[in-house]
Amino acid sequence: MTDISKRLDRFINSAQKKLIQADQILPIKTDEGILVGDVLIISEGNLKHIKKRDQMLFVNVYLNAVAIKLANLCYRNPSSIQIQKIYAADQEYGKWFVDSQILRTQHRKALEKPDYDRADMLYSRYIESRDRAEKSKNIAKTLADD
């Protein structure tokens, strides 16, 4: 049994070394969150926070792909300009997403009253916010994939 454990340990260490050589850090799930190197991704509902040691680097990250990319970049090159661009794109997405959800809720309430003129206006605003959220999401994911 110990021989199998040693082989598994060697395999894991070898795989981690190969990932590091390819500039990728293997995320490890812990009780506190997801650890990428010495950077921790903490989930709080739909939002993620990125912490390095005892310092909170980013709060309220909306997209999972962005959180993982930010954690990798913070571990490898914390002063990268790309980090701020990715975070800004994620925050733009979050702003439009929250706005679209609020407008959708208001639209439903207007239909229940019934206030159809207000419902039409809210629905058109909702569609605009939803489309902007989708566009911002695509931009953030593209930046995170690079």
Q: What is the pLDDT of residues 42-89, one digit of tens each?
A: 999 889 999 988 889 999 999 998 998 899 888 887 777 889 999 999
Q: What is the pLDDT of residue 35?
A: 87
Q: Could you tell me the residue ranges of all domains in the chain?
A: 1-75, 80-146
Q: Omega of the bond prior to 78 within 30 degrees of 0, cis?
A: no
Compute the radius of gyration of the chain from its Cα atoms.
21
Q: What is the pLDDT of residue 1?
A: 53
Q: What is the pLDDT of residue 11?
A: 73
Q: What is the pLDDT of residue 16?
A: 65
- For the entire predicted model, the pTM comes to 0.78
Q: Rounded CA gap, 119 and 111, in Å? A: 6
CB atoms inside a 10 Å sphere around CB 51: 19
Mean pLDDT of all residues in 101-115: 93
Contact 39, 75 (CB under 8 A): yes
Higher local confidence (pLDDT), 21 or 76: 76
Alpha helices (H) in the chain, listed in sequence order: 2-21, 64-76, 81-112, 116-145
Letter string b/e over residues 102-133, b meaning 16 or more CB atoms within 10 A of that residue's CB: ebbebbeebeeeeeeeebeebbebbeebbebb
